[in-house]
Amino acid sequence: MMAEGREIHPAKRGMTGKIRVPGDKSVSHRSVMFSAIAKGAVRVKNFLEAADCLSTAACMRALGASVERREDDSLRVTGVGLHGLKEPAAILDAGNSGTTLRLLLGILAAQPFFSALAGDASLSRRPMGRVVEPLVRMGAAIRGRDANRFLPLAVLPREGRLRAMDYESPVASAQVKSAILLAGLYADGKTTVEEPALSRDHTERMLGAFGARIRREDATVTIEPVDELFSPEEIIVPGDISSAAYWLVAASLIEGSDILLEDVGVNPTRTGILDVLSAMGADVTLSNERESGGEALADIRVRSASLRGTSFGGAIIPRLIDEIPILAVAALFAAGDTVISGAAELRVKETDRLQAVTTELNRLVPGAVEATQDGMIIHGGRAPSPAVCRTYDDHRMAMSLAVAGLAGEGVTLDAPACVNISYPSFYQTMDRLVQ
């Protein structure tokens, strides 16, 4: 098991330098998917060349769109229009990507042809009922394991338009919302999604840039069907704040650090991590703020600081759901206790992240973390020890534990390669910053 393990040594000095983090995963997925169902060709710059986004690109190719890699590392996507997709010859493989699967279900629900979707072992364990159920209400015919909740899923041909609906979502989930909005493009009237709190709004922003008739009021979004979507000439994908998060925390914790993260996406539905780190006393400043394709970008400077514990939950959770593992690491090194609540959704990610974070951080500092039903309590400020930790083949666990090792007394990761899902160059960047 340890043959492919990786040892992370404690940082001997502060981290300094400039970093460009990989393109935003959420925006990369959508840029290819929406371009594929639009008219025209679009150049996508800073597309995230990682496994999840490549799964989306492969699925859209299988459905008839052209997705080509250019010499300048951009992607050229030539769409087939809203009604131009064709029946795939084979099963569509979403790999490990929940985003690919859930958003694609929204598009496929309306198509006049048969399609089938599968994924890897981890994705096959993740429940899809919260997306399938509203799509079925709109008239989609979706079949799968365990009452149509688990992969593989088959989407049967749809004759005529889907039914428009007003949907009150029980959870704030960008993926559920996006699937319904994409299906709403093919419906017979206005479709509205109301959430208990505002989730990420990348879909709304980008569909608007493609000419969709979409409007938002607080946590309610309405979309109207259109005959066609039209591609912008260019989409610049901002750097992923979820990938920046590891360096924000590492530089905060490691004395003498001063790093600049360039061109990071600071979409307000994603910046919960900046709010929490500020509350913990982090030294984080934004500059060069601007916009591309409806998305906000900025350069973020972070310098080392003494962090203190805090409490967060409720409406902020959807704005930082992916960053909770790395925020738990920040809390482990902060003075005092940190209480995280309202994060039950983490139990159905790539792994049960609440349990995974609790188990692994307790290897570094025994008894420091208590799991609760929907979050955790972290008793910070105790001295960590070196340990061998499990990544659970979960990219966010691997990177969070690597930061804990850097800031503490080192860590050995059992399966480090899973970072390829979202940040293939993570370890190279880490080695460069701490040289």
Q: Where are the alpha helices (DSSP H) in 210-323?
A: 241-253, 272-279
- Eight-state DSSP code of residue 253: H
State the catalytic residues. Answer: 322
pLDDT score of 243: 96
pTM to 2 decimal places: 0.82
Q: How far apart are CA 171 and CA 213, in angstroms?
A: 24
pLDDT score of 4: 75
Q: Band of the pLDDT at 399, cuts 50, 70, 90?
A: very high
Q: How far apart are CA 68 and CA 66, in angstroms?
A: 6
Other Cβ atoms closer than 10 A to 37: 24
Pair 330, 307: CB distance under 8 Å: yes
Strands (E), 314-395: 337-340, 369-372, 375-379, 387-389
Quick one: fold of 25-235?
Answer: UDP-n-acetylglucosamine1-carboxyvinyl-transferase; Chain (3.65.10)
Q: 140: which 2 tokens?
A: 């989609």
- Res 1 pLDDT > 80: no
How confident is the prediction for the chain on average, in pLDDT? 95
Q: 374: which 2 tokens?
A: 């929907």
CA distances in angstroms from 250 to 16, 55, 56, 217, listed in the order given? 11, 30, 31, 37
Identify the residue whose tokens are 């692994």. Answer: 360
Q: How far apart are CA 388 and CA 410, in angstroms?
A: 9
Q: Which long-range contacts (CB under 8 A, 24 or more apart) does 213-220 make?
A: 214/181, 219/172, 219/194, 219/195, 220/192, 220/193, 220/194, 220/195
- Eight-state DSSP code of residue 319: G
pLDDT score of 2: 43
Residue 407 forms beta bridges with which residues?
none
- In the chain, CATH 3.65.10.10 sits at 2-23+238-433, 25-235
Nearest to 44 by CA among 21, 13, 66, 14: 66
Q: Band of the pLDDT at 12, cuts 50, 70, 90?
A: very high
pLDDT score of 202: 94
Classify 77 as helix, strand or coil: strand
Radius of gyration of the chain from its Cα atoms, rounded to whole angstroms: 21
Q: How far apart are CA 198 and CA 295, in angstroms?
A: 16
Q: How far apart are CA 192 and CA 166, in angstroms?
A: 5
- To which H or E segment does residue 200 belong? none
Q: Where are the alpha helices (DSSP H) in 280-336?
A: 324-333
> Model confidence over 45-57: pLDDT tens digits?
999 998 899 999 9
- To which H or E segment does residue 310 belong? none
> Model confidence over 295-350: pLDDT tens digits?
899 999 999 999 999 999 998 998 999 999 999 999 999 999 999 999 988 887 77
pLDDT score of 292: 77
Classify 309 as helix, strand or coil: coil
More confident: 214 or 172: 214
Identify the residue whose tokens are 């991590």. Answer: 273
| Bridging pattern class, strands 375-379 and 337-340 | antiparallel
Q: How far apart are CA 435 and CA 426, in angstroms?
A: 14
CATH number, domain 2-23+238-433, options 3.40.640.10, 3.40.50.300, 3.65.10.10, 3.55.50.30: 3.65.10.10
- Mean pLDDT, rounded, for 257-279: 96
> Model confidence over 101-139: pLDDT tens digits?
999 999 999 999 999 999 999 999 999 999 999 999 999
